[in-house]
Amino acid sequence: NAGVTQTPKFQVLKTGQSMTLQCAQDMNHNSMYWYRQDPGMGLRLIYYSASEGTTDKGEVPNGYNVSRLNKREFSLRLESAAPSQTSVYFCASSKTSGQAYNEQFFGPGTRLTVL
């Protein structure tokens, strides 16, 4: 049981390049999330998927797109990377959303640098 896995672990992009961050969970969770964490800051929600086939914007969605490929996988795409998107990206999952008990399980993160 690997929990939440993310690939790649590290990535360096040039401004304007595109890339997709991959996330998968093996806990049969319905809900998945993408957060970013800038240095010295807390996590901010980019997008989430309450269930397979649905996605919604979080606090900071601009410049990103997501795809809930199936129940296990939730990808985050940067179409045209900008230096302001340099951050650590965390994927998380939980059994359900909209419930008070919403323990989220986090992946190890992807460290992205945009030059």
Contact residues for another protein (CB under 8 A)? 4, 31, 33, 35, 40-45, 48, 50-51, 54, 56, 58-59, 90, 92, 94, 96-109
Reported as half-sphere exposure (CB side, CA atoms, 13 A), residue 79 has a value of 7
Least separation in angstroms between CB 63 and another protein: 19
Least separation in angstroms between CB 60 and another protein: 11
Alpha helices, H only, the chain: none
Buried b (16+ CB within 10 A) or exposed e, 25-44: beeebebbbbbbeeeeeebe
Least separation in angstroms between CB 69 and another protein: 19
Contact yes or no for 3/92 (Cβ under 8 A): no
Least separation in angstroms between CB 52 and another protein: 12
* Residue with Cβ nearer another protein (14 or 40): 40
Structure tokens at 90: 């965390």
* Residue with Cβ nearer another protein (58 or 63): 58
* Residue with Cβ nearer another protein (14 or 98): 98
* Residue with Cβ nearer another protein (11 or 17): 11
Contact yes or no for 23/74 (Cβ under 8 A): yes
